[in-house]
Structure 1
Amino acid sequence: MTTQSIAHSNSKLWLAALKPPMYSVAVIPIWVGTAVAFAENNTFNGAIFSTFLISAILIVAWLNLSNDVFDSETGIDQNKAHSLVNLTGNKPLIFWLANLFLAVGILGVVAIAWWQQDLTVIGLILLCCAMGYTYQGPPFRLGYQGLGEIICFFTFGPLGVSAAYYSQTQSWSIANIAASAIVGIVTSLILFCSHFHQLEDDLAAGKKSPIVRLGTAKASQLLPWLGGSIYPLTVLFVALHIFPVWTLLTFASLPFALKLFRHVGENHDRPEKVSNCKFIAVALHFWSGLLLGLGFVLANI
């Protein structure tokens, strides 16, 4: 192997380890919560939005890095070449870097609470962080009991979106809770899809992920029901006048959903082919969330 090909291979590993597409899970809850606030209250505070967005990205970076550290302790990542711990060979460095990201992210949320003279937002985000820690962190490691998707739903859905909404309005909203459910479902879908190619490693480490519990075939059959649910839910919320009709723009993300369901259905038991399905799920998450928020914004223009 040439020096150039080795460098290219290493750069691909680092890119996979840093997971830049995954940071949409930080962006979309802030965007949707802020968009609902704008639609309902005609209010938008750019400083709060920007601070919250940066803080959310830093907190998700903490989650990603700390999960690499915690997974390295169980041995589940021993075959994962793009683990940051495996790439650097320096677990303490990754651990303290993760904590630095968390501290700076929390400082941003503290700043929002200070501006508002209201501790509600920081309370919601601290609860998000606590739930995020229980996913892989000892002694909880609830992700190993197959509870990761439930944690993901509440952290990035009702809690995350509601925190963004409250940061703009200092109030609560039925429409925001409904929108947060959709964001939570499609965020959990990313985690659900990330397990298909890791079945053997999960089994070896005793991780009872939904894919381990169901098997890849049944899980692939369940996937369209889980992912597809965001579309009839959007129609229902529009029919109940909870969502504006513009939110039906979310249906423009349907091609990504169909691509995901078809790809997993055809390759669920072939790890080398199904491993990229989480990135299709990320695309579905991004576009469905972007269009949902855009629907709220357009309704107020």
Structure 2
Amino acid sequence: MSTQDISRREAWVIAARPQTLPAAASPVIVGTGLAVHDAVFAALPALAALVGAGLIQIGTNFANDYYDAIQGADTEDREGFTRVTAGGLIDPESVKRAMYLTFAASILLGTYLVHVGGVPILVIGLLSVTSGIAYTGGPYPLGYHGLGDLFVFVFFGLVAVAGTYYVQAAAALADPLTVGIPPETLPMAAILAALPVAALSTNILVVNNVRDKEEDATTGKRTLAVRFGYGFARAEFLAMLALAYAVPLWFVVRPTFTPLVLLPLATLPYAVKITRTMLSETSGEILNPTLERMGRLLAAFSVLFAVGLSIPELPL
């Protein structure tokens, strides 16, 4: 389909990039699975965390579309999915306005989570929104200086999973509007459970950066793939996969968890298939479908992991 055949409504859907929403939902699913295991599950905070994560993801997508276009990172040689600002489908100011409105909606929703989780959630929310803009915008765009991988690992992995667990535990164990982090609301297990989500989310970006390496090098976008080459990016991909699949092994030897925490290992053959492509391909024609497969891998791994975490003992 040429850009001339895309309606304005379709263009807004493209800009929102709904195919990226598994990356927003997955950490909430895992954090909620652990909350169920620890008997601190709270439905309303979990739902608010899910919607808030989706809004931050969409706001970040709008920001990427807008800032990549105005900074010249999206060219006619781009092999990735259609960008509406660079492609002239939606004017830049409208995309920018949509970005701010989406982030504003996430902040508005976040006021409820701040009531539940207090100052820690306020800090996390403001940092998440600021980083979503700073990923490609502002005076020092993170994605343009090789910090995109760290941004994704921290905010779409560690912060999102641990934050989801925390707001549910805080609703059950803490007073509203707490200032510090109350005891037992952020156990080490919540941090460790976040690592697979962080690693697989980062690998989505690694696939993207390998695909765009040549164009990024010409437009001044200094991703890790551009800075250190294909070999480094592929080694990073393998390391992130190894981390993701090692974490369930830590949980399975803990007495309060069951062998069901190993359920995510069922996705390993699919991960191997993706890896074979990553180790040999660089073209957008091949890696665009691989990006979608990485999203499916993240979603499947997260659902299986959440199920395994949520069951404190095997049913008789």
Alignment of 1:278-297 (within 5 A): 278-297=291-310
Aligned CA distance change for structure 1 residues 8 and 31 (closer, same or farther; 3 Å): farther
> RMSD of aligned C-alpha atoms?
2.4
Please name the residue that 2:43 is paired with.
46
More helix, by proportion: 1
Query: Partner amino acid for 1:102?
Result: F
Please name the residue that 1:66 is paired with.
63
TM-score, with length taken from structure 1 = 0.89
Query: Partner amino acid for 1:62?
Result: G
Task: Tell me which of 184, 187, 191 is aligned to 2:198.
Answer: 184
Secondary structure at the aligned position of 1:136 is classed as: coil
Is structure 2 residue 6 aligned with structure 1 residue 10?
Answer: yes
Secondary structure at the aligned position of 1:139 is classed as: coil
Secondary structure at the aligned position of 1:84 is classed as: coil
TM-score, with length taken from structure 2 = 0.85
Report how many aligned residue pairs link the two structures.
294
Please name the residue that 1:103 is paired with.
104
Checking the alignment, whether the CA contact within 8 Å between 1:17 and 1:84 is kept in structure 2 is: yes
Q: Distance in 1 between matches of 2:52 and 2:265?
A: 30
Task: Tell me which of 268, 272, 275 is aligned to 1:261.
Answer: 275
Please name the residue that 1:200 is paired with.
214
Please name the residue that 2:25 is paired with.
27
Secondary structure at the aligned position of 1:229 is classed as: helix
Aligned CA distance change for structure 1 residues 123 and 244 (closer, same or farther; 3 Å): farther
Q: Distance in 1 between matches of 2:46 and 2:90?
A: 37
Give the percent of matched residue pairs that are identical in Structure 1 and Structure 2. Answer: 25
Q: Distance in 1 between matches of 2:83 and 2:309?
A: 38
Is structure 2 residue 226 aligned with structure 1 residue 212?
Answer: yes
Runs of at least 5 residues in structure 1 that lack an aligned partner in the other structure: none
> Offset of 1:164 from its aligned partner?
0.6
Checking the alignment, whether the CA contact within 8 Å between 1:175 and 1:242 is kept in structure 2 is: no
What whole-Å deviation, never above 9, does each CA across 1:35-64 have from its counterpart, x for those lacking one? Answer: 111111x13222222222112111111000
Q: Distance in 1 between matches of 2:49 and 2:273?
A: 32
Alignment of 1:208-247 (within 5 A): 208-241=222-255, 244-247=258-261
Q: Distance in 2 between matches of 1:101 and 1:15?
A: 14
> Offset of 1:245 from its aligned partner?
2.8
Runs of at least 5 residues in structure 2 that lack an aligned partner in the other structure: 171-184
Aligned CA distance change for structure 1 residues 97 and 13 (closer, same or farther; 3 Å): closer
Q: Distance in 1 between matches of 2:3 and 2:133?
A: 34
Aligned CA distance change for structure 1 residues 202 and 172 (closer, same or farther; 3 Å): same
Is structure 2 residue 56 aligned with structure 1 residue 55?
Answer: no
Checking the alignment, whether the CA contact within 8 Å between 2:63 and 2:132 is kept in structure 1 is: no
Checking the alignment, whether the CA contact within 8 Å between 2:195 and 2:243 is kept in structure 1 is: no
What whole-Å deviation, never above 9, does each CA across 1:203-237 have from its counterpart, x for those lacking one? Answer: 11111212212322453354223223211232133
Query: Partner amino acid for 1:108?
Result: L
> Offset of 1:33 from its aligned partner?
1.2
